[in-house]
């Protein structure tokens, strides 16, 4: 069984479009995250949610909006996509904010043309 | 702020060679330290971790010791295999700090037969 899953795995789209990436975890964790990995493999946290509430929001354009319908899901919606948004986006989860190990999804490779 | 610095790659070794990937950190408190591995086309997997000074994390022949005095967490393996080819990330997290995990830039390891 997949612990942290993301859909789609690959996403190719035109500049200016709006797209969403979905993330689900079946680990019963309270906290979920979105990371962006650029072409040089550098990983940077974007958002963190605990029990559906936003707790970390790094300097990310407001075109990016996370949505957590329940604590097992954290979706990432991106408006008006730009070329610089091309990256691999990883979802992760951890048991709680006071517990450290994070478990990562397989990633979504977004290409903006 | 908290940060992680790891040796720049890429690193290319022959099979059965000894591996060291250096990692040093800066933190205000007493972080937990991690090594994650990313195999080609896959997401990040936790390789090992250590949560306090002098702890040694180990897994799949890899080891790293939490050295508070040198603020280091170097990754070592005595005899690498072709299947170890991947990108390795050093990371830290300060518990009770909203699980804000900081990653190093990643080191690409290629092992040749």
Question: Structure tokens of A80?
Answer: 């008006």
Q: What is the mean pLDDT of residues A33-37?
A: 92
Mean pLDDT (10-residue bins), chain B, 113 residues: 85 96 90 92 90 94 96 97 96 73 91 96
pLDDT of residue B30: 84
Please indicate whether, in this complex, the C-beta atoms of B105 and A31 are within 8 angstroms of each other: no
Q: Is the Cβ of B22 closer than 8 Å to some Cβ of chain A?
A: no
Answer whether B88 touches A (CB < 8 Å). no
CA B30 to chain centre: 17
Q: Say which DSSP state A94 is in.
A: E
Burial of A14-27, coded b for 16+ CB within 10 Å and e otherwise, reads eeeeebebbbbbee
Whether A42 and B105 lie within 8 Å, measured CB to CB: yes
Q: For B80, how many CA atoms within 13 A lie in the half-sphere containing its CB?
A: 23
Residue of A41, A46, A95 for testing the chain B interface, max B β-carbons within 10 Å: A41
Residue A27's DSSP bridge partners are none
Mean pLDDT value of segment A38-55:
83
Chain B segment 94-113 residues within 8 A of A by beta carbon are: 95-96, 98-101, 103, 105-106, 108
């Amino acid at each position: 069984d997949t612990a942290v899953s993301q859909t789609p795995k690959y996403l190719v789209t035109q500049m200016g479009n709006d797209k969403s990436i979905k993330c689900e975890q079946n680990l019963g964790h309270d906290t979920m995250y979105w990371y962006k990995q650029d072409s040089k493999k550098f990983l940077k946290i974007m958002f963190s949610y605990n029990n559906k509430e936003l707790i970390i929001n790094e300097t990310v354009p407001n075109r990016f909006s996370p949505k957590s319908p329940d604590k097992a899901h954290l979706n990432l919606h991106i408006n008006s996509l730009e070329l610089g948004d091309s990256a691999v986006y990883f979802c992760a989860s951890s048991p709680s904010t006071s517990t450290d190990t994070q478990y990562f999804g397989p990633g979504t490779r977004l290409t903006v043309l | 702020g908290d940060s992680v610095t790891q040796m720049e790659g890429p690193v290319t070794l022959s099979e059965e060679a000894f591996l060291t990937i250096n990692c040093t950190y800066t933190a205000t408190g007493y972080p937990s330290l991690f090594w994650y591995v990313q195999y080609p086309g896959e997401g990040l997997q936790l390789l090992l971790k250590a949560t306090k000074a002098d702890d040694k994390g180990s897994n799949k022949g890899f080891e790293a010791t939490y050295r508070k005095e040198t603020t280091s967490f170097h990754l070592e393996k005595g005899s690498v295999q072709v299947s170890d080819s991947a990108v390795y990330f050093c990371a830290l997290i300060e518990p009770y700090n909203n699980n804000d995990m900081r990653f190093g830039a990643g080191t690409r390891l290629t092992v040749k037969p």
